Amino acid sequence: MKEETSNNSRRKFLKSFGISVGAAGVVSSFSLIGAAKAAAKKPAEMVNLLTQDGQLVQVDKNQLRPTVTEPLDELQKRGREGIPGKSFVMVIDLSKCRNARKCMAACQNHHQLRADQHHINVLQMQDAEHTAPYFMPKPCQHCDNPPCTKVCPVDATFKRQDGIVLIDNERCIGCRFCIAACPYSARIFQWTEPKDSEKYKDLTYNIEANVPQKKGTVSKCLFSADRLREDKLPSCVSSCPNGVYYFGDRNEDAVTNGTTGETVRFSKLIEENAGYTLMEELGTKPRVYYLPPKNRAFEFNGDLLNEENLH
């Protein structure tokens, strides 16, 4: 992400909170708490860990301690406020999506989801009978006129100053009105005990990643708000092997490609490629922009044409 202009203020901002969440994103999947408990029984067992700079290292399990996180109140407060001065947008280039689904896997890993739970879902689309089919990754559109937050009876889902729509699972009553209200089917519900809930039960709730997930509440794509706080791109964006995703700040007019790392002007990218938003006729004003699936350098290999789940 291009961060030159506001880097200083941003650094200060982050420091003032005392960053210690750094490793949380990387190691959460290893569950340090669980590992530390296990260590009491089996001494001198080594585990592989990925450090922040991408090195794979071996550590004695006895040395592992749970990541020190902010207290819940602090996480909730800054989670509701958002990152000042930012206006996050995503651009999805449909001409590049080959249905690799690395985005879906990374997202499910980050947000502790099962394989059938999608914050982002790669759909096979065909707009009309004789038009070309294509793959369309569909995250939450983080609408500027969000139908979901309007209907929430308890302000559990809300829009922040940086444009991200979040869910507070400490407050959600599970009425599922927001699921009914979302025209993009972007929201999911934890119908049963979430994946690995036993393992993560002692983890402090982080509203910006919506983990640990909670039974009986709603979840959805958050643009990996916890990673944005660390100046990282969302999980789906960084994991794409095909250069489909751009992510950045509309205020800076800059978006960065998650695969190539290349930063381009947002307005120019949209203008030159005839970018559009999904179902703009509904008036939801999405923050996710799509570039049309033209000039594709690969064959559409989906089984769409055999499927009847099209409409």
Could you say whether residue 105 binds other proteins (CB under 8 A)? Answer: no
Classify residue 136 as exposed, middle or buried by CB count within 10 Å of its CB (0-12, 13-18, 19+): middle
For other proteins, the binding residue among 13, 177, 265, 300 (CB under 8 A) is 177
Structure tokens at 247: 């992510």
Could you say whether residue 151 binds other proteins (CB under 8 A)? Answer: yes
Q: How many residues bind other proteins (CB under 8 A)?
A: 48
For other proteins, the binding residue among 19, 68, 305, 310 (CB under 8 A) is 310
Residues 79-98 binding other proteins (CB under 8 A) are none
Could you say whether residue 39 binds other proteins (CB under 8 A)? Answer: no
Could you say whether residue 159 binds other proteins (CB under 8 A)? Answer: no
For other proteins, the binding residue among 208, 284, 286, 293 (CB under 8 A) is 284
**Region at 47 (left for phi over 0; alpha for psi -120 to 50; beta for the rest):** beta
Cβ atoms within 10 A of the Cβ of 173, count? 13
Q: Which residues contact 172 (CB under 8 A, 6 or more apart)?
A: 154, 156, 157, 214, 217, 218
Q: CA 84, CA 161: separation in Å to the nearest integer? A: 7
| Stretch in the footprint of other proteins (CB under 8 A) among 62-70, 111-119, 204-212, 265-273 | 111-119
Note whether 236 and 99 are within 8 A (CB): no
Could you say whether residue 121 binds other proteins (CB under 8 A)? Answer: yes
Could you say whether residue 72 binds other proteins (CB under 8 A)? Answer: no
Could you say whether residue 49 binds other proteins (CB under 8 A)? Answer: no
Q: CA 298, CA 262: separation in Å to the nearest integer? A: 22
Closest CA to 222 of 261, 301, 169: 169
For other proteins, the binding residue among 19, 57, 154, 305 (CB under 8 A) is 154
| Three-state secondary structure call for residue 148 | helix
- Please give the distance of CA 114 from its chain centroid, rounded to a whole number: 15
For other proteins, the binding residue among 153, 295, 299, 306 (CB under 8 A) is 153
| Stretch in the footprint of other proteins (CB under 8 A) among 84-92, 241-249, 264-272, 303-311 | 303-311
| Stretch in the footprint of other proteins (CB under 8 A) among 8-16, 34-42, 113-121, 226-234 | 113-121
For other proteins, the binding residue among 50, 100, 105, 282 (CB under 8 A) is 282
| Three-state secondary structure call for residue 46 | strand
The angle formed by the CA atoms of residues 109, 115 and 118, to the nearest 5 degrees, is 80
Residues 216-255 binding other proteins (CB under 8 A) are 216-218
Closest CA to 27 of 7, 56, 4: 56
Could you say whether residue 156 binds other proteins (CB under 8 A)? Answer: yes
The binding site for other proteins (CB under 8 A) comprises 104, 116-118, 121-125, 138, 147, 150-156, 171-177, 179-181, 183-185, 187-193, 215-218, 279, 282, 284, 309-311
